[in-house]
Amino acid sequence: MKKHQTVIVVDFGGQYTQLIVRRVREMGVYSEMVPWTTAEAKIRETQPNAVILSGGPRSVLEDCAPTLDVAVLKGIPTLGICYGQQLMAQMLGGKIQQGTNREYGKRRIRVAENSKSEDQSPTTDHRSLVTDHQSPITDHRSLVTGLASDQVWMSHGDDVLEVPPGFTVTASTDTCPIAGMENEAEQQYAVQFHPEVTHTPDGKTILHRFLFEKAKLKGDWTSESFIEDQVTAIRAQVGEGKVLCAVSGGVDSAVMAALLIKAIGERAMCVFVDHGLLRKNEAEQVKETFIGHFHANLKVFDAKDQFFTELKGQTDPERKRKIVGEQFVRVFEQHANELKDCDFLAQGTLYPDVIESGSPTAAKIKTHHNVGGLPDWMRMKLIEPLRWLFKDEVRAVGRKLGLPEDMVEREPFPGPGLSVRILGEVTPERVHMVQEADWIFREELKARGQNKGIWQSYAALLDVKSVGVMGDERTYQQPIVLRAVASEDAMTAHAVNIPFETLEHVANRIVNEVQGVNRVFYDLTSKPPATIELE
């Protein structure tokens, strides 16, 4: 398998760390996030082409603050961001002080005079998994020289008071005397602000300069190379064995299945478990999609009664996720005769699933059924070819594999299905209420052309009741919550501005057509602080 150039992003617990990874990948360079607790071993083992030290909530002046032996970075181009700059300065002989003026939000930087140089000719093109990117940038200058905008995004309390030996100051602000520093001879660079966020308009230029001017990378990670690598890896891992491909009809499992079929053909056995927690008419749609497009020998197992029995009385969302994950595997084990010789289970796990399920530096937001919900006793070995991809990267790979656009652009749907959109106990009756309300909401958005640009839209059911009046009679029924968000990768999201007239019409239809519902709300909360799913 071809070895791609790699950038390791060391995670010190910063809220934007995964965004750094995304920005690097957008420029056609493979990047991976590694917790600081295991970073030294990972760097020694893989010898990456560059390293980026992330921001973080701690102070380098604290006892037991996250750290890294800078000796492992010797000879590797390194960029420190925020906490990463402070750590680099401290470890290399500079001085840090607790800031007297904390900086949060937008600031203007001044570029130091000795960091400027003349522009030269543009460098070569660099393509990514998702987009084509042509570099307008030149060589032999600091990361911050000649930017079109001097606006940056700050989020720090401590300051670098003195740079380490060999470093020069490249930028400052009114309250931060060292907002950037570099040691060109040692290929060590740092900025106090966050170039990865959109609030730093020229942040991508800064990252691009580091990757292609300073680290001399080529940008060789594309959809085509990813597919080639995964096909090779799958064949090596599986050998002559068979793989059970768990499909749901969503884009993740569809791309996963297409990769497996491309790699091992009919030895990829596609299995669809109807757990009764799908959207209205979705089970039939999944069957039509897979049999019609893949011509796959799709096996369908109806396990609705089994899932509802196990979910009876359960109200905790984490527990519901684990039950769903475990029951999937139990269904596979129960049909072992039909799935004989399947030693592997393939899933459409994505990078956000892995991050949100927790790591040594990232808090567990929720257990994704395909990450932390699988039981320890599972016999089959896991294959997760999409585990390091974000959603937009998966869609790009799907297009290269020839999947139809309606499948590639399908809205994400959680593996545990409607169980995480029903607060409280999951019953067939409550699932039916959500299915009908969800169908009305999405049907109206599509009919009005207002579904374009929406990452995810759905209806959820709250576990409360409220008083209403219908036909001059008192009702005591449950409320439906509508949610529609825009996002790039599900790591952050914001509510979509749906016209009030549409929401009013949808609400009127739901309370009239869905029995047991007498109120409808629209969720305006962004992620963070909320999650995309309501649970």
pLDDT tens figures, 231-285: 999 999 999 999 999 888 788 988 999 999 999 998 998 889 999 999 999 888 8
How many domains, in total, are found in the chain?
Answer: 3
Q: Are residues 186 and 53 in the same domain?
A: yes
Question: Mean pLDDT throughout 206-235?
Answer: 93
Return the number of other C-beta atoms located less than 10 Å from residue 331's C-beta. 20
- Is residue 305 pLDDT above 80, yes or no? yes
Lowest mean pLDDT among 168-182, 333-347, 500-514: 333-347
Residue bearing tokens 């994704």: 368
For residue 199, the domain's CATH number is: 3.40.50.880
On whether both 377 and 237 belong to a single domain, the answer is yes
Among 23-32, 363-372, 496-505, top mean pLDDT goes to: 496-505
The one catalytic residue in 40, 182, 196, 436 is 196
As a residue count, the chain comes to: 535
Residue 415 lies in a domain: no
396 with 465, same domain: the answer is: no
Task: Give the CATH number, domain containing residue 518.
Answer: 3.30.300.10
Is position 58 within any domain?
yes
What pLDDT, on the 0 to 100 scale, is given for residue 209? 96
Task: Name the pTM for this structure.
Answer: 0.71
Q: Distances in Å between the alpha carbon of 101 and those of 90, 154, 155, 173, 503? A: 20, 12, 11, 11, 45
Residue, of 364 and 70, whose pLDDT is higher = 70
Note whether 268 and 395 are same-domain residues. Answer: yes
Task: Share the mean pLDDT of the chain.
Answer: 86
User: In terms of domains, do 108 and 203 share one?
Assistant: yes
Q: What is the pLDDT of residues 115-168, one digit of tens each?
A: 544 343 334 455 566 654 433 334 468 999 998 889 998 888 888 999 999 999
CA separation, residue 43 to residues 4, 69, 176 (Å): 15, 11, 31
Out of 17-26, 303-312, 316-325, give the one with best mean pLDDT: 303-312
Q: Are residues 284 and 366 in the same domain?
A: yes
Q: For residues 183 and 191, is the Cβ–Cβ distance under 8 A?
A: no
Q: Which residue has the higher pLDDT, 365 or 24?
A: 24
Provide the pLDDT confidence category of residue 507 given band limits of 50, 70 and 90.
very high
DSSP letter assigned to residue 380: S
Return the pLDDT at 141: 85
Q: Is residue 246 part of a domain?
A: yes
Query: 299: burial class by Cβ within 10 Å (0-12, 13-18, 19+)?
Result: middle
pLDDT at 183: 96
- Among 86-95, 211-220, 341-350, 434-443, the range scoring the smallest mean pLDDT is 341-350
Residues 298 and 380 in one domain: yes
Same-domain pairing of 208 and 353: no
Same domain, residue pair 230 and 201: no
How confident is the model over 367-408, as pLDDT tens digits? 444 444 455 556 778 899 998 888 888 999 999 998 888 888
- Residue 435 domain flag: yes
Among 162, 196, 214, which residue terminates a domain?
Answer: 214
Does residue 529 lie in a domain region? no
**Tell me: the pLDDT tens digits for 32-52?**
899 999 999 999 999 999 999
What CATH code is carried by the domain that includes residue 299?
3.40.50.620
Show the DSSP H helices in 9-166 as ranges. 17-26, 36-46, 83-91
Write down the catalytic residue from 4, 26, 40, 82. 82
The answer as to whether 535 is a domain residue is no
pLDDT at 73 over 90: yes
Fill in the DSSP letter of residue 459. Answer: E
Catalytic residue among 4, 126, 156, 194: 194
Boundary residue ending a domain (375, 408, 441): 408
Q: Active-site residue 293, yes or no?
A: no
CA distances from 345 to 234, 415, 476, 533 (A): 12, 15, 46, 26
* Residue that is last in its domain, among 408, 437, 468: 408
270 is catalytic: no
The percent of residues in the chain predicted with pLDDT above 90, rounded, is 56
Above 90 in pLDDT, residue 499? Answer: yes
For residue 493, what are the domain limits? 421-522
Would you say residue 270 lies in a domain?
A: yes
| 284 and 189 within one domain | no
Query: Is 533 part of any domain?
Result: no
Active site residue 82: yes
Does residue 73 share a domain with residue 21? yes
Which H or E run contains 479? strand 473-486
pLDDT of residue 206: 95
Residue, of 497 and 377, whose pLDDT is higher: 497
Residue among 213, 401, 422, 390 at smallest CA distance from 315: 422
User: CA–CA separation, 131 vs 396, rounded Å?
Assistant: 9
Confirm if 152 and 109 have CB atoms less than 8 A apart.
yes
Same domain, 341 and 227: yes
Q: What average pLDDT does the segment 290-315 reach?
A: 88
**Residue 197: other Cβ atoms inside 10 A:** 17
